Structure 1
Amino acid sequence: MDQTQLSLLALLVGFLVGGSVVGLVVGALRARDRALAQVSTAVPEGVEAMLGAMDDPAFVCDTSSTVLALSPAAEVFGLDEGQAIASDDLRRVARAARDTGAAVAENLRLRRGAAPAEPRLVAVRATPISPRLVLLVLRDITERERVEEMRRDFVANTSHELKTPVGAVSLLAEAIESAADDPAQVRAFSGRLQAEIARLSALTNRILSLSRLQAADELRDVRDVSIDEVVTAAVESHALQADSAQVTVVRGGTKGLWVRGEPQILTEAVGNLIANAIAYSPNGSKVGVGVKLDDTVVEIAVTDRGIGIPEGDQHRVFERFYRADQARSRRTGGTGLGLSIVKHAVQRHGGEVRLWSRPERGSTFTIRLPQSEAPDLDQTRTKPRRKPRKPPAARPVPVKGDTL
């Protein structure tokens, strides 16, 4: 073997030996990195910046359940950097994610702040980001769950309420058919059938009204509305009911007040309060409808001297299908939707409804609406007639949550 071949062989052996050494060094470094990662509690680069930009509560914790980094929103759940997680449930979810090495999702009841703060329903997702660190993201789903529960209750209650008049209509139709040869019986059954149909129609109309108020993002026909005209229309539409119940409706208060809104919806809201007041008032009593201005708020108060509402039930009277007196409501044909419609109608107009009531002393429901400037009616009358145009777009009004 000549000198050149020996040199090439030596070079090849050197490459092999050098490559083996480099491989061993790289392997050792990687093993060291893995070992360090197994015991490292350093938050990976970029995680803190990501947490700072998150709207949802989120945080990173280690094997001792100590919070190492968190988003600003996480502080409302009592989490603080450098402190241990107080919630046993959160610690359990984080430990499960770390032990399995996979993401874990669970819904928990957590308090926002210290007791007696109300527990919130929170969707928690824990994801391992290293052998010792877990990222937990929290999402408050209390309102979503409440809305879903309201929807289920609404469907169930509506089905139950519709079942009674529909069943009565069916039975009365059969009775009329059976009594075809008895005109007196046919007339009696027909009268009851008409009453059940009227009840069914009223229930359907109120369900549609409530659904529209809850679903609409804005009012359709917003304009300046005279409170005098609203109260007059509401009182006149229930004059027959008042006469039948031997109840006198008395008006009073400040005249010439205006608000912005839909006249039909406001008239229905005031009318529902008057109808309830008449229904729950004894014969020979009076129902008062008063209007006044409180700073820049127009107040429409409807007062009765009826049975009143126990304090424990007052927070529920605006729930759909809730009745303070089941027997009286059934007897008068009440649907249990009137006050719910009032609440949503007033909220759509940026107002609120207040209640004062004492058992055996009566109740006062007060609608409060933002006052608007009275329009210049004289100028409106002198303006030349123009082609009718579409009403101005309704301004969006913030809506509060349901009480359910």
Structure 2
Amino acid sequence: MTLTETLLVALLAVLIVFGVFGAFLVSERQLNKVPVVEEPAVPEKVTAVLSVLRSSAVIVDEVDTVLKASAPAYALGLVRGTEILVDELQETIRQVRRDGQIREIEFVLGPPTAPPRHVQARVAPLGSRLILALVEDRTRERRVEAIRRDFVANVSHELKTPVGAIRLLAEAVGDARDDPEAVKRFAGRMVTESDRLTDLVQQIIELSRLQSDDPWAEPEQLELDEIIETAIDTVAIDAAARNTEVLATGDKGIVIPGGREQVTVAISNLVANAVNYSRDSTAVLIDVRR
């Protein structure tokens, strides 16, 4: 073997040794390398909490991209894809991002052709880069408040009539103290107005119980035909005075569970209002459908 060949063989051996050593080092680094786990955009614990909330929940990042939204948020029309559709909510999120202060707002959702939905939103920072918005649908509460206001106004109007009549009759009795026949007549009217006032107060009590009591505590099987017949009999005198005919149509033999007094008062109140606030010489129809 010549000197040149010997040198080539030695060089090749050195290259092989360095190659094996380099491969060993690379393999060792790969074995000792800690895998990099990408952090989720929304923490898992936060996602778990949002999944059990009744509120509509929306989480956005620093550029207003929706990272997480609950099903109610999509149902309300707050979110589509990764975008927030409500300008008021988006502007509030930006304000919270600027100063980190928790804010609450109320706004109305829904197209002009549909009934409006009143919602309340609470927006707060979630960590250093995320914003959380919780939205509650308050439409039912607003409707109940409106019904309660109307009920109070109607009751106040209904109570003024017998109270005012009793006061006038009392003054008339005082002026006619020397006329026994007049006193007797006015006293009879006072009894009538007192009974009317008592009936109104009793209706108020029963309607209040209808809102507060639990009719399912001891439910009865109620025949609607019987309850409607009672309601018609209750308004018979007032209907005859106004030349109003009260008719019952629809399905017969319907039985429902509930509280007898409460259901009777509720239906009788509806029928009485229909008679009192309809024009004279008309008809009031009670239509029952299963």
Q: Is the CA contact 1:56–1:137 (under 8 Å) kept in the aligned structure 2?
A: yes
Structure 1's 212 and 191: CA in aligned 2 closer, same or farther, altered over 3 A? same
Q: Look up the SS of the partner of 2:214 in the other structure.
A: coil
Match of 1:187 among 172, 179, 184: 184
Structure 1's 186 and 86: CA in aligned 2 closer, same or farther, altered over 3 A? same
- Residue matched to 1:366: 287
State the alpha-carbon separation in 2 of the partners of residues 128 and 253 from structure 1.
56
State the alpha-carbon separation in 1 of the partners of residues 40 and 199 from structure 2.
66
Structure 1's 267 and 240: CA in aligned 2 closer, same or farther, altered over 3 A? farther
Q: Look up the SS of the partner of 1:212 in the other structure.
A: helix
State the alpha-carbon separation in 1 of the partners of residues 164 and 145 from structure 2.
28
State the alpha-carbon separation in 2 of the partners of residues 254 and 149 from structure 1.
31
State the alpha-carbon separation in 2 of the partners of residues 139 and 238 from structure 1.
42
- Residue matched to 2:59: 60
Deviation at 1:103, TM superposition (A): 0.7
- Residue matched to 1:397: none
Match of 1:146 among 125, 137, 143: 143
Q: Look up the SS of the partner of 1:69 in the other structure.
A: strand
Number of residue pairs matched? Answer: 251
Q: Does 1:135 align with 2:132?
A: yes
1:185-233, CA deviations, whole angstroms, 9 ceiling, x for partnerless residues? 2133223322322221222222233223333322546247595x66776
Deviation at 1:109, TM superposition (A): 1.3
Structure 2, gaps ≥5 residues long:
1-38
Q: More deviation in 230-239 or 42-51?
A: 230-239
Alignment of 1:203-242 (within 5 A): 203-218=200-215, 220=218, 222-223=220-221, 225=223, 227=225
RMSD over aligned Cα atoms: 4.3
- Residue matched to 1:99: 98
- Residue matched to 1:85: 84
- Residue matched to 2:120: 123
Q: Look up the SS of the partner of 1:123 in the other structure.
A: strand
Deviation at 1:82, TM superposition (A): 4.9
Q: Does 1:259 align with 2:255?
A: yes
1:244-279, CA deviations, whole angstroms, 9 ceiling, x for partnerless residues? 788999999999x57355795599479949976xxx
1:77 is aligned with what amino acid?
A: L
Q: Look up the SS of the partner of 2:84 in the other structure.
A: coil
Match of 1:197 among 162, 187, 194: 194
Q: Look up the SS of the partner of 1:106 in the other structure.
A: strand
Q: Look up the SS of the partner of 2:64 in the other structure.
A: coil
- Residue matched to 1:50: 49
Q: Is the CA contact 1:225–1:263 (under 8 Å) kept in the aligned structure 2?
A: no
Q: More deviation in 245-254 or 67-76?
A: 245-254
Q: Is the CA contact 1:63–1:95 (under 8 Å) kept in the aligned structure 2?
A: no
- Residue matched to 1:294: none
Structure 1's 322 and 217: CA in aligned 2 closer, same or farther, altered over 3 A? farther
Alignment of 1:266-285 (within 5 A): 268=264, 272=268
Q: More deviation in 97-106 or 58-67?
A: 58-67
State the alpha-carbon separation in 2 of the partners of residues 251 and 193 from structure 1.
34
Structure 1's 224 and 163: CA in aligned 2 closer, same or farther, altered over 3 A? closer
1:84-109, CA deviations, whole angstroms, 9 ceiling, x for partnerless residues? 21211011111121122111111221
- Normalised to the residue count of structure 2, the TM-score between the two structures is 0.67
Structure 1's 41 and 81: CA in aligned 2 closer, same or farther, altered over 3 A? farther
Which structure's CA Rg is the greater one?
Answer: 2
Q: More deviation in 233-242 or 65-74?
A: 233-242
Structure 1's 151 and 115: CA in aligned 2 closer, same or farther, altered over 3 A? closer
Q: Look up the SS of the partner of 2:83 in the other structure.
A: coil
Structure 1's 270 and 59: CA in aligned 2 closer, same or farther, altered over 3 A? closer
Deviation at 1:140, TM superposition (A): 0.9
Q: Quick one: percent identity of the two aligned structures?
A: 35
Structure that is richer in helix per residue: 2
Deviation at 1:149, TM superposition (A): 2.9
State the alpha-carbon separation in 2 of the partners of residues 90 and 253 from structure 1.
47
Structure 1's 169 and 75: CA in aligned 2 closer, same or farther, altered over 3 A? same
Deviation at 1:182, TM superposition (A): 1.4
Q: Is the CA contact 1:41–1:62 (under 8 Å) kept in the aligned structure 2?
A: no
